[in-house]
Amino acid sequence: MAVIFQCLKGQFSARILYRYLAALCFIFWGLIFAAWLGYPAENKYSIMTHTFSFLGSYEEKHSPVWWWLFSMAMLFWSVAGMPLVLYIYRHFVFVSKWGARVGAALLLLGCLNIGLVGIFPDVKTPLGPTLRVTHIHEKVAIFAAAAFILGIVLHGLLLLKDRFFSRDSQFDHRPFVPLYGFWLTILTVASYFLIKWEYVYADMKVAAREAGTSIGSSWSEAMNTIYSFPLWENILIYTLFLFLVCLALILTKAGPAPDTP
């Protein structure tokens, strides 16, 4: 029982952390895989055309039977991710107390909203005259993405501060370089194609109007192309999960050594 309480507070020994992360990955991705298996074949789920959240939509065109597996996965990530945030905080507090607190608050906010993504699936079920469940889903998903991105960037700035301005650094900064390089590359490439699509689609609309032909919506026309929003949303979510796991792993060797049980 004492070990459980220590884990909940982010007080992991390296050995316990390895087991915790293995369980986190196995359970979360196991649930996601099961949700994918339960997605009706006739609805043809693909990351080129379907967002990650469609695995948890109980609408007939998505996954009306096994949608709840996705919700369970997101709630699990939300709860199980919080002790990891506290573990990260216990290392970064050696760089800056306020910086570590703000960073932890942002990551915890991200975890909270990840859970809300599971509670409010991407469905058009009405909650009021104009409010639908999907409206809440979209907002909490945006909050989750923003909180995680800001939290990751802030921790990167703390590492830079420690590298260039600290006289008694307790970090080995080299392992963090490829991790942040990988994450920033994916984020930059995704942003490039999603922003560029706005201009490409605008040109397509002009060309269609001049030719006297019709054109689909921005969403539909991007499907199955490099500009597909679902494609980049899926990749960014996979990358985010991988980043958080790898950050915790790196801290066991390259970070300070807070008191552990």
- pLDDT tens digits, the chain, 261 residues: what are they? 666 777 777 788 889 999 999 999 999 999 999 999 999 999 999 999 999 999 999 999 999 999 999 999 999 999 999 999 999 999 999 999 999 999 999 999 999 999 999 999 999 999 989 999 999 999 999 999 999 999 999 999 999 999 999 888 899 999 999 999 999 999 999 999 999 999 999 999 999 998 889 899 999 999 999 999 999 999 999 999 999 999 999 999 998 877 655
Q: What's the pLDDT at 7?
A: 72
pTM of the predicted model, to two decimals?
0.94
Is residue 72 one of the residues assigned to a domain? yes
Is residue 261 one of the residues assigned to a domain? no
Tell how far CA 89 is from the center of its chain. Answer: 18
Name residue, tokens 């002009």.
Answer: 206
For 129, phi and psi rounded to 5 degrees?
Answer: -55, -40
Q: What is the DSSP letter of 212?
A: T
> Containing domain of residue 136, as a range?
2-254
Is residue 259 one of the residues assigned to a domain? no
Is residue 63 one of the residues assigned to a domain? yes
Rounded-to-integer distance, Cα 69 and Cα 131, Å: 25
Q: What's the pLDDT at 1?
A: 63
Is residue 10 one of the residues assigned to a domain? yes
Q: Tokens in use for 161? A: 């501060």
Rounded-to-integer distance, Cα 72 and Cα 118, Å: 7
Q: What's the pLDDT at 166?
A: 86
Is residue 260 one of the residues assigned to a domain? no
Is residue 121 one of the residues assigned to a domain? yes
Q: What's the pLDDT at 138?
A: 96
- In the chain, the number of structural domains is 1
Is residue 12 one of the residues assigned to a domain? yes
Residue 137's CB is within 10 A of a number of other CB atoms, namely 21
